[in-house]
Structures are given as structure tokens and as C-alpha cells.
Structure 1
Amino acid sequence: MPISVRRVKITDLNEMQQTNLSCLAENYHMWFWLYHYLIYPASSHCAVDSLNHILGYVLSKMDDDSRRKNPNEPLHALMTSVAVYNGYRKLGLAKQLMLSSQRENQLCYKAEYVLLHVRETNRAGHLLYENSLGYVKNQVCKEYYVDGEDAWSMKLVLPKTEAQLAEEAAKKAASSQPRKPKKGGRR
């Protein structure tokens, strides 16, 4: 059965929420899913079978709060939730979902890095994020989850795209150009 990863559509949200309820202890109200989709439609992705049934998803958005508090804060994305049904785990779907979301957050919203939280006891999550995707542990967030479990805050700095490198080079070249004197000025 072919499986594909694609951007989330608004019609996917109910099924994504059901996937979340089936797979994870951290659950969200529908307004939360809608907010992610309506404000950042390119951020979240789902894995679907040939009948378009959701097998897994990543719910993601840009971090608005940090930017409001500190306008100089680099743009970054938050991976809010990742879930794959048990029968489809160990197929690399979570990795594909994460990579798709990271790429879209960078290309569409100019994210420079990505943050996520993972339960201290989630061994599979730690292996995926650290070993497969290159995330680095930042700090422990005490009692982060409703049940009191701690979380690791993890960060991935995204490699610059060719467009970003070209833009930086153009800015650098423009700033190193000598300024032309204004015409009609004092002599």
C-alpha cells in the first residue's frame, strides 16, 4: 500500500485529532488544530495511505510568542506534536513528516531553527530527534507535561538555503560598496 506525506488540508483536522487521541497522552481542542492550520498552513504535514486515511502527522507552527517579546529573536518553528499509529511505526514516517515540516517552515516562513519538547521517557523520540534528525538537547523543563513528567527542550539549527546564502552575500556586497557623494552638496 503506497504511503505519501503531504501538507495538511483543513478536511484532515478531525482525523488528525483522532490520531492524536489514539496515540498520545497530550491532546488538544479543535481550536488549537485550527489555529495551527489557519495561521501556518504550510507547517503541518500528514502521512496518508492510498485511500487518504491519516497514518501519522506532525503539527507545527512558527513561534509567535518569542517574536512578540523580543523582535530581534531569530524566526523559529515549534514542533507541537508528532504521532504515528502503532502499525505504521518503524517505517520512517515520523522522520519524513519532520523533514517535510522543517523544510516548509524554513522555505515559507524563514525559520532559522526548530524547537520541540520530548518526554524524558520517550526513548524512540530521543533516538529520532537526536540520532536521525540532529536535534540537540537544550535543557530539562521540569513537570512540563500535565501528568508531571519532565521534558527535554531540543533544538535544530537549520542549514541555510541557497536563497538565504545569496541574500546574505548580496547584503554584504552592498554594504561594502563605497558610497557615492551626493550631488549639489557643499564644496
Structure 2
Amino acid sequence: MELLKKRIIEEGIVLSDKVLKLDGLLNHQVDPQLTMEMGREFAARFRESGVTRVVTVESSGIAVAFATAYELGVPLVFARRKKTLLADPDAYCERVPSFTKGIVTDIMLSREYMKSEDRVLFIDDIIANGDAAKGLIKIIARSGAELVGLGVVIEKAFQSGAQTIREQGIRIESLVKIGSLTDGKIKFVE
């Protein structure tokens, strides 16, 4: 997606050779038109997969996952990172480290919203080490649902997350792949 690349170059802030701040696009502010365009792109790539649910991990993936679910005409389910008083005590749960937050959290998904007959499309904002993605993939597997693929807005190709998941035979469609953030410069993989 050339528009997405352009916006990343214009608005992304390279904080280190591993961290790209995208608060104005994905993580703090959302551009509705760009987000809907990303959702249309993911829907087009996975339309023939028979998706019955789109799933993501709160919170930065929700907007793009919503746009994708809207385009596919299916429900969106998101795994929560924090337990609430109303949380399902029997929810699927997986402990995962967060690369950008520098902490370990539990992600939870209610059994009510993930059934064995579902064909699930997982949408995520950024994949680096892939720990949250791996955790949600385990939850999907435990539910008995079929994971048809993972749509990622930005893949940090210089980190191992996406490659590790591909080695499991999981289809990953990335809208943009970043090959390097060295010397404060964003270099894309074509």
C-alpha cells in the first residue's frame, strides 16, 4: 500500500533501530479514511477464505480489525489485556510479553465469542517479535476454530515474529514490510 508507506515516512518517528512510533496513524490517533482503506485491502486478500470472525488483541489493532470485519460483514472479537469485573472467568487466557510496553500481560478471549466452527482472520497492527500474535494463535487453536490467516498492517521484517509464524504454516499478509530502521531511516522491503 503506497499510501500507507507515504504516511509512515511522513509521520513515523524512528526512536531506535527497533522502535518506530506511529501514534498519529495506529497507536493513539486513527485516520478513518486510511483505516477503512486498510480494511478493504485485508478483506480483498482474505475474502475467498470463508472468514466468519475477525479477531485482534486490544487496543491498537481494533480500528483496522473493525474496518476489515465491516468489509467482510462478520463480527469483530478482540482479546482483552486486562481483567474486568465482568470478565468471563472461563475465558481462554494466554500470558504474553509486550515488546513495546516492556511488560508481560495476560490476553483473554471469552469462549462465548470463539467457536470450533469459526474460520478466523486475525488482524494486527504491527508484528515485531510476534509474542502477542503467538499467544492469540494459541487461544484460537485451543478454541478449535480454524485460523485462515494473519493480516498485519506493518511487519518489522528485521525481527523474527512474522517468520516464526510463517514457519508454522500460517498465512501472513502484510500491508507494509519494514526491512530496517537503522540510522533513523525507514527502509521498506518490496
Q: What is the TM-score normalised by the length of structure 2?
A: 0.31
Greater RCO structure (CA 8 Å; 6+ sep): 2
Which of the two has greater strand per residue? 2
Task: Give the number of the structure whose alpha-carbon radius of gyration is greater.
Answer: 1
